Amino acid sequence: MAAIIVPPKWQMPERSITPESIFCARRNFIKTFGLWGLGLVAGLPFGCGPNENAAKIGAQENPPVADLYPARRNPNFILDRPITNEVYAASYNNFYEFSVFKGSVYKKAARLKTSPWRLEVAGLVERPRTFDIDELLRALPLEERRYRFRCVESWSMAVPWTGIPMRAFLKLVAPLSSARYIRLVSFWAPAEAPNQSPTYGPWPYTEALTMSEAANELTMLACGIYGHPLPKQHGAPLRLVVPWKYGFKSIKSIVKIEFTAEQPRTFWNSNRPHEYGFEANVDPATPHPRWSQESEKLIDSGERRRTLAFNGYGEWVAGLYS
Ligand SMILES: Nc1nc2c(c(=O)[nH]1)N[C@H]1C(S)=C(S)[C@@H](COP(=O)(O)O)O[C@H]1N2
Ligand SMILES: [Mo]
């Protein structure tokens, strides 16, 4: 099982393979060889398939604001579907720094050192500085929000995030009026993240939003999920959540936030601009060049649902694009 061929750059899964095939390729291999009957359940030996202990395996050693969970739930965000089973959400992850196999990310990401963790705030901002993550989160209001989450690969989940509204963060650091974009940068730690090699780069993973998108009420910096600190596979200790955009915009494990005048280059958009736009708003009417976006599959039940424009958040964000 170790002899998995490292796919060349253009074969990364966000670009070519369906989510189902990545998650279950190895499980099907095991099925084919009849090992289920021997009790060798996939996920235990091979890290494929939902693992009941995935959230524990990825748990942070020293999570920030651990005493503040569960946070008060913001009642303004109501779901139209059940909350995704946590076991599935914690066992099915995109985090390319660690693996291109969604079902093995939780094990690989456990190697990421998340403490101490600092967030650098730089660029066109009145108060540039570096925060210790615990100190930053204590300075801002923590709340829980239930959001839908839609990956560009056409799978989706619905989860309770814990975090701070990006708006509150912007108030704290005070961007200058010349700032037109916010650029977010993930970590660089090739010794811990086996895929941070030139084959997959350019690393670190980066993302960006316009200032009006960042200031939208929906935009969150999340530090928790399901009422506890984020397991590493979900982007501990701090990630972005922009629920009206495809999942790749929601960058994980952020170390730097920079305010810029020019539109920054971002990981997927600069690698494959025709397939992954900068804006990346969820839109059932615009197919990906290689697949339809009309429907999505819920990762736990397998149910298919029609994709919602702006992932159902048009009421909050449609005005940004008119
Ligand atoms: N640093 C980093 N952030 C990332 C990614 C990644 O590979 N690296 N993948 C993105 C993609 S494609 C998706 S769909 C979501 C997945 O989030 P989840 O694993 O918590 O569901 O994280 C996004 N953030
Ligand atoms: Mo994604």
Q: pLDDT, tens digit, for every residue of 263-275?
A: 999 999 999 999 9
The confidence score (pLDDT) of residue 276 equals: 97
Q: How far apart are CA 89 and CA 85, in angstroms?
A: 7
Question: Which residue lies with its CA nearest to atom 8 of ligand 1?
Answer: 95
Q: pLDDT (tens digit, 9 = 90+) per residue, 132-148? A: 999 999 999 999 999 99
The ranges assigned to domains in the chain are 18-48, 52-321
Closest ligand 1 atom number to CA of residue 233: 19
Burial 227-257 (b: 16+ CB within 10 A, else e): ebbbbbbbbbbbbbbbbbbbbbbbbbbbbbb
Average pLDDT over residues 2-13: 43
Q: How far apart are CA 210 and CA 321, in angstroms?
A: 11
Q: How far is the CA of 93 from the centre of ligand 1 (A)?
A: 7
Strand partners, 285: none
The ligand that comes nearest to the alpha carbon of residue 152 is 2
Q: Is 56 left (phi over 0), alpha (psi -120 to 50) or beta?
A: alpha
Which of the four pLDDT bands, split at 50, 70 and 90, describes residue 12?
low
Q: pLDDT (tens digit, 9 = 90+) per residue, 54-79? A: 999 999 999 999 999 999 999 999 99
Closest ligand 1 atom number to CA of residue 205: 1
Looking at per-residue confidence, does 24 or 110 come out higher?
110
Question: Which residue lies with its CA nearest to atom 19 of ligand 1?
Answer: 93
pTM value? 0.89
Question: DSSP states of 89-158 as a string?
Answer: HHHS--BTTTBS-GGGHHHHHTT---SS-EEEEEESBSS-EEEEHHHHHHTS--EEEEEEEE-TTSEEEE
Which of the four pLDDT bands, split at 50, 70 and 90, describes residue 203?
very high
User: Which amino acid makes up residue 46?
Assistant: F
Strand partners, 156: 150, 298
Identify the CATH assignment for 52-321 out of 3.40.190.10, 3.90.420.10, 3.40.50.300, 3.40.1350.10.
3.90.420.10
Smallest Cα–Cα separation from 103: which of 57, 51, 167, 65?
51
The confidence score (pLDDT) of residue 16 equals: 47
Average pLDDT over residues 39-63: 74
Q: How far is the CA of 151 from the centre of ligand 1 (A)?
A: 9
- The sign of the CA dihedral 154, 155, 158, 162 is negative
The answer to whether residues 199 and 6 touch, using CB atoms and an 8 Å cutoff, is: yes
Strand partners, 296: 305
The confidence score (pLDDT) of residue 88 equals: 98
Does residue 30 have a pLDDT over 80? no
Closest ligand 1 atom number to CA of residue 240: 24
Q: How far is the CA of 142 from the centre of ligand 2 (A)?
A: 26
* CA torsion, ordered 122, 123, 124, 125, to nearest 10 deg: 10
Instruction: Compute the mean pLDDT over every residue in the chain, rounded to the nearest whole number.
Output: 89
Site to substitute for ligand 1 among 17, 248, 254, most atoms within 8 A of C-beta: 248
Closest ligand 1 atom number to CA of residue 234: 20
Site to substitute for ligand 1 among 252, 271, 297, most atoms within 8 A of C-beta: 252
Q: Residues with Cβ within 6 A of ligand 1? A: 14, 93-97, 151, 186, 205, 234-235, 247-248, 250-253
Q: How far is the CA of 151 from the centre of ligand 2 (A)?
A: 4
Q: How far apart are CA 179 and CA 162, in angstroms?
A: 27
Which residues are placed with Cβ below 5 angstroms of ligand 2, an ion? 94, 151, 247-248
Q: How far is the CA of 42 from the centre of ligand 2 (A)?
A: 23
The answer to whether residues 177 and 285 touch, using CB atoms and an 8 Å cutoff, is: no
Secondary structure (3-state) at 257: strand
Give Cα separations from 141 to 26, 144, 148, 154, 172 (angstroms). 43, 10, 22, 32, 11
Q: How far apart are CA 288 and CA 236, in angstroms?
A: 29
* CA torsion, ordered 189, 272, 104, 87, to nearest 10 deg: 110
Q: How far apart are CA 13 and CA 7, in angstroms?
A: 9
Smallest Cα–Cα separation from 235: which of 277, 207, 269, 197?
207
Question: Which residue lies with its CA nearest to atom 7 of ligand 1?
Answer: 95
Smallest Cα–Cα separation from 149: which of 315, 271, 299?
299
Strand partners, 161: 145, 225
Task: Record the tokens describing residue 248, joined without a space.
Answer: 């790749």
Does residue 217 have a pLDDT over 50? yes
Span of 28-37, 74-83, 142-151, 220-229 with lowest mean pLDDT: 28-37
Does residue 195 have a pLDDT over 60? yes
Secondary structure (3-state) at 186: strand
The ligand that comes nearest to the alpha carbon of residue 207 is 1
The confidence score (pLDDT) of residue 254 equals: 99
